[in-house]
Structure 1
Amino acid sequence: MPWHGGTVIEELTSDHREVERLFARIEELPPSSPERRVCADRAVSRLMRHSSAEEAFLYPAVREHVPDGDALADKEIADHAAVERLAAALDGLPAGHPDLDRALTELIREVRAHVADEENRLFPLLAAEVSEEQLVFLGDKVRITLTRAPLRPHPSAPHSPAAHKVLGPVLRIADRLRDAVPGQGRRPPGEA
């Protein structure tokens, strides 16, 4: 996973762009393409790590510093829960399965709306209230979390900063073990 450096906003925006590249690739591939399934798995893995990092560090900062931050953070966490449920629905569906195509279309739509909201509303509000030094500090925390966060959806896991910090590494180990079991893992080569 590349380390972009800089602020939490730069790090998360860069992550958004990587997910969008994967979505664009998914959309250009035919539904029966095995590569489409691989890209979907990569996108889900990145989204799960990304969500965990945001919930552990970004949203607590929003709650603390941004006016009406609790409502904003709650809305973003609800968006994450919806995306996680959609991502879980993809699990086990082979390339070309009609349910896979429907779930992917909905997942892409939900994520794009969430990203637009964060980048156009949430990030500017946070940047207006938090110093550059604090944004860089949060960026460092997010980068570390991305290396320890779960790789798969866990919709029943709690969505709190403490849960992400404590359970994230444990769930990541469970995800890696699942990926090592023949017939269970679909993690593409090179995804850590």
Structure 2
Amino acid sequence: MGHGGDVIAELTSDHEEVEELFSTIEELPSGDEQRKQYADQVTMELVRHSVAEEEYLYPAVREHIDGGDALADKELRDHAAAEQTMKDLEGCAADDPRFDMLMNKLMTEIRAHVVDEENNLFPRLRDACTPEMLNELGDKVRQAKKTAPTRPHPSAPDKPPANKLLAPGAGMVDRLRDMMSGRGKS
């Protein structure tokens, strides 16, 4: 992830990449070890994406959109539910009886979240912000994804300033763990 453009183009491209990974998982037979590898990859992408949204998108929503506090709070609740599902999925092998159920739950949660963001939040943000503001947010989101965690941390703070302070450290630890385990390399 890291595509360029304004924040809406950046995040929409992320959504498309995640959907491609979901489609690949759905095409593989139940129990196939590759499903776990793709699930790890989708988790890595989703966590980075979510952290960047929590650091920059949702504060902008709160600041620039009428009713933005309620909208951002709803999106954060969606993130919390998906992050817990990813945490539960993290401990499952592809042949674990819970794997398919958790993967289906995650896909349902994320697909509903994406539809909500793309049909509700993004148009409202585009109407409320200048193109320059949206481009600046895109740059900030891309930077945040570079240092963001790659593993779910359901107990981590999801609002500034705590999330901006803690996410890079957790990200460094996660990337080290990924490097040592080979997670996300295939």
The question of a shared fold, defined as TM-score above 0.5 by the shorter chain, is answered with yes
SS at match of 2:169: helix
Question: Which residue number corresponds to residue 183 of structure 2?
Answer: 187
Aligned 8 A contact 2:43 2:86 in 1: yes
Aligned 8 A contact 2:28 2:35 in 1: yes
Q: How does 1:27-66 map to 2 (within 5 A)?
A: 27-66=26-65
C-alpha separation between the residues in 2 aligned to 1:19 and 1:89?
19
Question: Which residue number corresponds to residue 93 of structure 1?
Answer: 92
Question: Which residue number corresponds to residue 19 of structure 1?
Answer: 18
Q: Deviations over 1:100-123 (max 9, x none)?
A: 110000000000000000000000
C-alpha separation between the residues in 2 aligned to 1:12 and 1:115?
10
Q: How does 1:104-143 map to 2 (within 5 A)?
A: 104-143=103-142
Q: Deviations over 1:128-173 (max 9, x none)?
A: 0100000000000000001010000000111112223211110011
C-alpha separation between the residues in 2 aligned to 1:21 and 1:163?
32
SS at match of 1:113: helix
Q: How many residues align?
A: 186
Q: Which runs of 5+ in 1 are unaligned?
A: none
SS at match of 1:6: coil
Per the TM alignment, residue 186 of structure 1 is displaced from its structure 2 partner at its CA by 5.5
Report the CA distance shift for 1:99/1:59 in structure 2 as closer, same or farther (over 3 A).
same
Q: Give the share of equivalent positions with the same residue, in percent.
A: 54
Aligned 8 A contact 2:6 2:137 in 1: yes
C-alpha separation between the residues in 2 aligned to 1:149 and 1:163?
13
C-alpha separation between the residues in 1 aligned to 2:128 and 2:109?
27
SS at match of 1:151: coil
Per the TM alignment, residue 179 of structure 1 is displaced from its structure 2 partner at its CA by 2.9
Per the TM alignment, residue 59 of structure 1 is displaced from its structure 2 partner at its CA by 0.4
Per the TM alignment, residue 67 of structure 1 is displaced from its structure 2 partner at its CA by 0.5
SS at match of 1:147: helix
Q: Deviations over 1:31-63 (max 9, x none)?
A: 111111111000000000000000000000000
* CA RMSD of superposed structures (Å): 1.2
SS at match of 2:29: coil
SS at match of 1:188: coil
Runs of 4+ in 1 over 3 A off after TM superposition: none
